[in-house]
Amino acid sequence: MKRIGFAYNQKPAPDAPGGPSTGDEPPLDPAEEPPSIASRNATPSRDAAAVLTAAPDADDQFAEWDSPETIDAVDRALSRLGTVIRLEATRDFPEQLRAARPDIVFNMAEGLAGVNREAHVPAICEFFGIPYSGSDPFTLTLCLNKARAKQVLAYYGVPTAPFAVVERPGATDALDALRYPLFVKPLHEGSSKGITERNLCRTPGDLDEQVRFLLDRYAEPVLVEEFLSGDEFTCAVLGNDDAQVLPLVAMNFGALPPGALPIYGFEAKWLWDRPDHPLPIFDCPARIDDELRAQIERVTLAAYRALGCRDWSRVDVRLDAAGVPNVVEVNPLPGILPDPADNSCFPKAARAAGLSYDELIQTCLILAAERHGIDL
């Protein structure tokens, strides 16, 4: 049987005395909990205004990392294709990988730190000549830089909202050409980190306040883009030369609490949508006409190819005021929560396409193996 390396980052346990086991850096303050933990411990609120005061201060440091339940589910799925060797992407990952020498690596590691963090595991695999699943280091770094990704999309004629980047407080000259309302977000984050209802800015005062907050909290540039007022869709893509878009997932913003804005951000993902109070936030397959579906699929595949994605990726699309699909961002390391009760877009789209969770994980690895000429 083939030896399958499994690279991942695991969220710290709720009762851990410090942060994750990353090596030689100082431990985290025990009070700093990932949002999944904070939301479990918090009293649920269905009122948007009540959550807004707390959400910007909630710790989202480990929002991108995976839970033990997800890691176990992926392990079980991969074990049907070979012998699984767990390789937690801590600071000793290179030594782990060199000692294990797997035939191929299934990569879902988000990385520890830095603007190139998602590229670290595949880059190390390339260094040791070990095949791996998913996109290459360049694509992973490119997609994590939302502005650079949008520049590439624009070059290839893929619709995306007009934007600018602010690197320091008060440096807003580049924003003069943008039309309000504007939406702001950290330049190098995923999993809705730094995205709350306060990020929708209707006035220069709102914009200045939220940009300063994000610059201070995340210590990285802020992307400012014109807000797309239409419906939003999440598009799961599987494949390479023959890549296909799975059934579209539509955001049902009507499921949010009264007064909430039509944004799938931190509040909706981590605070309002809870196991004991699930939100019917996703409709899959999306209930739209064939023409719009075809338009969204064309834009999705154009973005997938323009950014060099491989095997799988999630593409977020939103309609502008005229109903034209625009690419919001592309995630080559999509979230893959295994429980159907959880709102996880990629597995939901896969199930609508007739793929079980195990089949989804296995398909991704098989696609990677085929690229490398490996017979699983």
Please give the pLDDT value at position 77: 98
Q: Which domain holds residue 32?
A: 2-140
Task: Please say if the pLDDT value at position 183 is more than 90.
Answer: yes
Q: Which of 227, 244, 269 is the last residue of a domain?
A: 227
Q: Which of 181, 204, 227 is the last residue of a domain?
A: 227
φ, ψ (nearest 5 deg) of residue 214: -70, -40
Q: Which residues contact 141 (CB under 8 A, 6 or more apart)?
A: 115, 116, 118, 119
> What is the average per-residue pLDDT within 12-17?
63
Residue 113 in domain: yes
From 100-109, 163-172, 300-309, the region with the lowest mean pLDDT:
163-172
Task: Please say if the pLDDT value at position 21 is more than 60.
Answer: no
Question: Are 23 and 133 found together in one domain?
Answer: yes
Question: Are 117 and 168 found together in one domain?
Answer: no
Residue 348 in domain: no
Please give the pLDDT value at position 226: 97
First to last CA, the chain: 8
pLDDT exceeding 90 applies to what percent of the chain? 69
Task: Please say if the pLDDT value at position 108 is more than 90.
Answer: yes
Q: Which of 88, 107, 140 is the last residue of a domain?
A: 140
Question: Are 94 and 48 found together in one domain?
Answer: yes
> What is the average per-residue pLDDT within 289-306?
98
| Cα–Cα dist 214/225, whole Å | 15
Per the structure, how many domains does the chain have?
A: 2
Question: Are 85 and 208 found together in one domain?
Answer: no
Residue 200 in domain: yes
> What is the average per-residue pLDDT within 70-86?
97
Question: Are 102 and 20 found together in one domain?
Answer: yes
Question: Are 87 and 206 found together in one domain?
Answer: no
Residue 313 in domain: no
CATH of the domain at 218: 3.30.1490.20
Identify whether 285 is preceded by a cis peptide bond (ω within 30 of 0).
Answer: yes
**Mean pLDDT, the chain, integer:** 87
Question: Are 35 and 133 found together in one domain?
Answer: yes
Residues in the chain: 376
pTM: 0.85
Question: Are 170 and 71 found together in one domain?
Answer: no
pLDDT exceeding 70 applies to what percent of the chain? 86
Please say whether the beta carbons of 198 and 52 come within 8 A: yes
Please state, in angstroms and as integers, the Cα–Cα distance from residue 88 to each residue in 10, 110, 118, 239, 278, following that order. Answer: 7, 11, 14, 26, 30
Please give the pLDDT value at position 15: 58
Residue 23 in domain: yes
| Buried-exposed string 50-76: b where 16+ CB fall within 10 A, e elsewhere | ebbeebbebebbbbbbbbeebbebbbe
Q: Which tokens hold the place of 1? A: 């049987």
Task: Please say if the pLDDT value at position 97 is more than 50.
Answer: yes
Q: What are the tens digits of pLDDT across the range 259-269?
A: 888 988 878 87
Question: Are 116 and 185 found together in one domain?
Answer: no
> What is the average per-residue pLDDT within 41-47?
37
Please give the pLDDT value at position 50: 44
Task: Please say if the pLDDT value at position 373 is more than 90.
Answer: yes
Name beta bridge partners: 136.
Answer: none
